[in-house]
């Protein structure tokens, strides 16, 4: 077997801002970016040359909100009405049969599916509750370890069934942190009333403080405007000095709240340095189910958060499970859905959309070495498209995916149109 190259020289790539450049990748990093047109043979013969011929280079995608433990369970579940409680109930039955091996196999499959789509960073929530105990966590941990050469996985311990409403929940969360979960999850709106919701938030921030961990909670995934735990999370973040370390996913009910209340809470979120993650795929199918006539889209107030300077990301959330029947871990697809659902189609909206699946989630991850700049980790994608907008429109996976300076995935798409005769060139795979 030939030895792997010491690095890569990518000649004539197109950057997102339209400039043409040559990129040298060495020692896992982007060693330098120079204007295109430099020598086409590297000084160092151990570098492999890629003639990119104007292909678009983007930083690798970051999926900041996934559920690897639940992936690919769709066909094992009983039929249900598609609402969040019904999906949780249906998944609960399947979760009884979770084993570390079963979870590791499915989680690994989704990690690889995402890598082929140019996603090299995945933050996944993993259920930690009285049904699964730590079996899901162990499975995802094994999958992350098995695929660490192609993808970085961050694990959030997720008490989906609540803290106050589940005996032993806090002990399990503590055990999950000791077993390797690096982020503290939560779902305060699942608790019965305001007091329990506040206690839920407080107990999980205590845990985060004790272990010096970031927090990433599922927040207000409801159409009901009276569901208001986002403000609890923002207040706790400020009170604990956890600014810049807390993420709130979904935040759907804020869209149903009145404008004045929403504006007040959004200001507090900005002060708390919160990250907001909207998950357009899942929320387009879960939310608004009770509406007739004008059916709500289920997304949070992305435009208002953006205007207030809050860090906003898009996440995949679910793939082929009880919550969402589609998905393949493609942030290109998630961004495409987000563009439609959040009206992000103007010129600067489209650039903003790229941030929501790259630099914004990297900021939430607190990955300072991320980006398409000299010195950053060489995690990047090459697309057969001249621009981000065209990559978004065409929805083709990246041709080449680099992770830590290694080529970890390649996809070739070939189409013949015209005199295509079956058995000669036609092959549908
Ligand atoms: Zn989720």
| Active-site annotation, residues | 221
Residue 88's alpha-carbon distances to 67, 187, 271, 321, 324, in angstroms, are: 13, 13, 33, 10, 12
- What is the spatial distance between Cα 283 and Cα 299, in angstroms, rounded to a whole number? 6
Domain span including residue 41: 7-54+371-410
Ligand 1 mean position to 358 CA, how many Å?
19
Ligand 1 mean position to 230 CA, how many Å?
15
CA atoms within 13 A on the CB side of 100: 10
* Domain boundary, last residue among 335, 365, 395: 365
CA angle 363, 368, 371 (to 5 degrees): 80
Residues 81 and 225 in one domain: yes
Both tokens of 300, joined, read 């949070």
Ligand 1 mean position to 86 CA, how many Å?
15
Residues 82 and 22 in one domain: no
Residue 382 lies in a domain: yes
pLDDT at 428: 46
Query: From first to last of its 429 residues, what are the pLDDT tens digits of the chain?
Result: 567 788 999 999 999 999 999 999 999 999 999 999 887 777 788 899 999 999 999 999 999 999 999 999 999 998 888 888 899 999 999 999 999 999 999 999 999 999 999 999 999 999 999 999 999 999 999 999 999 999 999 999 999 999 998 999 999 999 999 999 999 999 999 999 999 999 999 999 999 999 999 999 999 999 999 999 999 999 999 999 999 999 999 999 999 999 999 999 999 999 999 999 999 999 999 999 999 999 999 999 999 999 999 999 999 999 999 999 999 999 999 999 999 999 999 989 999 999 999 999 999 999 999 999 999 999 999 999 999 999 999 999 999 999 999 999 999 988 877 765 555 554 444
Residue 418 lies in a domain: no
Residues 203 and 226 in one domain: yes
Residue 198's alpha-carbon distances to 165, 187, 190, in angstroms, are: 13, 11, 11
Residues 400 and 267 in one domain: no
Ligand 1 mean position to 125 CA, how many Å?
7
Instruction: Kindly tell me the sign of the dihedral angle through the C-alpha atoms of 366, 222, 166, 241.
Output: positive
Residue 176's alpha-carbon distances to 173, 211, 212, 234, in angstroms, are: 5, 12, 14, 24
CA angle 249, 254, 259 (to 5 degrees): 145
Ligand 1 mean position to 307 CA, how many Å?
24
Residues 326 and 388 in one domain: no
Q: What is the CATH number of the domain that holds 38?
A: 2.30.40.10
pLDDT at 419: 63
pLDDT at 295: 92
DSSP 80: -
Residue with tokens 């059916």: 295
Is 281:336 a contact under the CB 8 Å cutoff? Answer: no
Domain count, the chain: 2
Residues 394 and 311 in one domain: no
Ligand 1 mean position to 416 CA, how many Å?
40
Both tokens of 92, joined, read 């609960």
Q: What is the CATH number of the domain that holds 86?
A: 3.20.20.140
Residues 34 and 87 in one domain: no
Residue 420 lies in a domain: no
pLDDT at 429: 43
Ligand 1 mean position to 252 CA, how many Å?
12
Residue 428 lies in a domain: no
Q: End-to-end alpha-carbon separation of the chain, Å?
A: 29
Ligand 1 mean position to 65 CA, how many Å?
6
Residues 217 and 116 in one domain: yes
String of DSSP letters for 194-256: HHHHHHHHHHHHHHHHHHT-EEEEEE--SS-TT---HHHHHHHHHHTT-TTSEEEEE-THHHH
Residues 356 and 381 in one domain: no
Length of the chain measured in residues? 429
Residue 197 lies in a domain: yes
Residues 191 and 316 in one domain: yes
Residue 427 lies in a domain: no
Ligand 1 mean position to 207 CA, how many Å?
20
Ligand 1 mean position to 317 CA, how many Å?
5
pLDDT at 427: 47
Residue 1 lies in a domain: no
Ligand 1 mean position to 64 CA, how many Å?
10
pLDDT at 413: 82
Residues 316 and 378 in one domain: no
pLDDT at 78: 84
Residues 42 and 177 in one domain: no
Residue 423 lies in a domain: no
Ligand 1 mean position to 107 CA, how many Å?
15
């Amino acid at each position: 077997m030939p030895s792997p190259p010491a690095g890569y020289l990518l000649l004539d790539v197109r950057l997102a801002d339209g400039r043409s450049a040559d990129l040298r990748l060495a020692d896992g990093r982007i060693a330098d970016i120079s204007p295109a047109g430099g020598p086409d043979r590297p000084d160092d013969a151990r570098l492999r040359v890629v003639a990119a011929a104007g292909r678009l280079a983007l930083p690798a995608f970051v999926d900041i909100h996934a559920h690897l433990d639940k992936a690919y369970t769709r066909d094992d579940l009983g039929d249900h009405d598609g609402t969040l409680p019904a999906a949780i109930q249906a998944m609960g039955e399947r979760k009884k049969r979770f084993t570390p091996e079963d979870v590791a196999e499915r989680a690994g499959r989704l990690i690889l599916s995402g890598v082929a789509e140019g996603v090299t960073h995945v933050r996944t929530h993993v259920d930690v509750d009285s049904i699964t105990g730590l079996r899901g966590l162990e499975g995802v941990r094994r999958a992350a370890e098995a695929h660490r050469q192609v993808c970085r996985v961050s694990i959030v311990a997720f008490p989906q069934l609540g803290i106050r409403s589940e005996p032993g929940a806090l002990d399990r969360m503590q055990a999950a942190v000791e077993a390797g979960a690096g982020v503290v999850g939560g779902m305060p709106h699942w608790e019965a009333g305001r007091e329990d919701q506040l206690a839920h938030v407080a107990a999980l921030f205590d845990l985060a403080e004790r272990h010096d961990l970031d927090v990433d909670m599922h927040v207000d995934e409801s159409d009901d405007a009276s569901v208001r735990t986002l403000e609890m999370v923002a207040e706790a973040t400020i009170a604990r000095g956890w600014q810049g370390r807390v993420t709130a996913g979904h935040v759907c009910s804020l869209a149903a709240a009145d404008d004045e209340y929403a504006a007040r809470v959004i200001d507090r979120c900005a002060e708390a340095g919160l990250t907001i993650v909207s998950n357009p795929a899942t929320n387009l199918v879960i939310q608004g189910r009770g509406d007739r006539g004008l059916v709500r889209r289920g997304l949070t107030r992305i435009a208002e958060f953006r205007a207030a300077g809050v860090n906003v990301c898009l996440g995949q959330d679910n793939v082929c499970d009880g919550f969402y029947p589609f998905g393949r871990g493609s942030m290109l697809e998630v961004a495409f859905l987000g563009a439609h659902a959040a009206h992000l189609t103007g010129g600067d909206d489209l650039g903003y959309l790229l941030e929501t699946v790259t630099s914004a989630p990297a900021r939430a991850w607190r990955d300072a070495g991320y980006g398409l700049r000299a010195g950053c980790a060489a995690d990047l994608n090459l697309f057969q498209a001249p621009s981000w907008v065209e990559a978004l429109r065409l929805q083709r996976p990246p041709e080449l995916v680099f992770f830590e300076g290694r080529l970890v995935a390649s996809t070739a798409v070939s189409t013949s149109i015209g005199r295509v005769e079956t058995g000669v060139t036609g092959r549908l795979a």
